[in-house]
Amino acid sequence: MNQWKNFSKGFFKENAVFTLLLGMCPTLGVTSSAINGLGMGLATTFVLIMSNIVVSLVKDLIPDKVRIPAFIVIIASFVTVVELSMQAYLPALFESLGLFIPLIVVNCVVLGRAEAFASKNGFLSSMIDGAGMGLGFAMALTILGGVREFLGSGKIFGITIYPEQYGMLVFVLAPGAFIALGYLIAIINKLKKA
C-alpha cells in the first residue's frame, strides 16, 4: 500500500513542476502546445521508470565514488532509446521537441529520483515511484501546454476552440510560459490551502 502512496505523490504532494519547481528547462521550453507537453512528459516518464528500475537493480554493484556518473550513463542509455524511437516513429514531434529530448539526461527530476529513491529502494517501489513522478510531470507539462495553446492560439491539441485572431500571442512565446506557470502555481497553492 505504501508503494501506491509513492505513486500518487508525483501528482500532487511532490509534483516536480507545480510543487518542487524542478525540470524548468523543458517545462518552459516545450510547452507551447499540449501535444508537445504530453510528448515530452511521456518521454521523461519512460526514462524515469526504466532508469529507476535499472538503478534499483544495480545499486549494490556501483561504488560510491562513481555513483552519479553511473546513474547518468544509465539515464543517457534510455534517453537514446527514446530519442531514436521518436525520430523513427514520431518525426514531427521529434522536430518540435528538438534539443530538449537529449536534455532529459540532465533533467534534475530524473537524476534526483535515481539518487534519492531508486538507489535506496527495491525494484517494484522504484518502478512505481518512477511512474508516479513521470506521469505527474507529464500531467503538469500537458496542462501548462494546453493553457498556453488555448490562450495563445485558441486551440487545444490542435483542435480549434475559437478563432486564432482572438488569441494572445504572448502565451505562445517564451514570456507566456512564465506567466501561465506562475498563475497555475498560484491556483494550485490556493486549492491546497482550501
The string of pLDDT tens digits covering residues 21-74 is 888 888 888 898 999 999 999 999 999 999 999 999 999 999 989 999 999 999
The model's pTM: 0.91
- Is 163 exposed, middle or buried, given 0-12, 13-18 or 19+ CB atoms closer than 10 A? exposed
The answer, yes or no, to whether residue 108 has pLDDT greater than 80, is yes
Q: What is the torsion angle, in degrees rounded to the nearest 10, for the CA atoms of residue 94, residue 103, residue 14 and residue 125?
A: 90
The larger pLDDT score, comparing residue 17 to residue 194, is at: 17
- Give 99's pLDDT tier (boundaries 50, 70, 90): confident
How far apart are the C-alpha atoms of 114 and 164, rounded to whole Å? 42
- Give 150's pLDDT tier (boundaries 50, 70, 90): very high
The answer, yes or no, to whether residue 6 has pLDDT greater than 80, is no
**Residue 157, phi-psi category: left (phi > 0), alpha (psi -120 to 50), beta (remainder):** left
How far apart are the C-alpha atoms of 7 and 108, rounded to whole Å? 18
The answer, yes or no, to whether residue 1 has pLDDT greater than 70, is no
Q: Where are the domains of the chain?
A: 2-138
How far apart are the C-alpha atoms of 49 and 52, rounded to whole Å? 5
The answer, yes or no, to whether residue 7 has pLDDT greater than 90, is no
pLDDT of the residue at 3: 66
Based on DSSP, count helices (H) and strands (E) in the chain, helices before strands: 8, 2
Helix (H) or strand (E) holding 27: helix 24-29
**Is 141 in contact with 41 (CB distance < 8 Å)?**
yes
How far apart are the C-alpha atoms of 103 and 42, rounded to whole Å? 14
What's the whole-number mean pLDDT along residues 93-99?
Answer: 90
pLDDT of the residue at 146: 95
pLDDT of the residue at 52: 95
- A 10 A CB-CB count for 42 gives 19
pLDDT of the residue at 79: 95
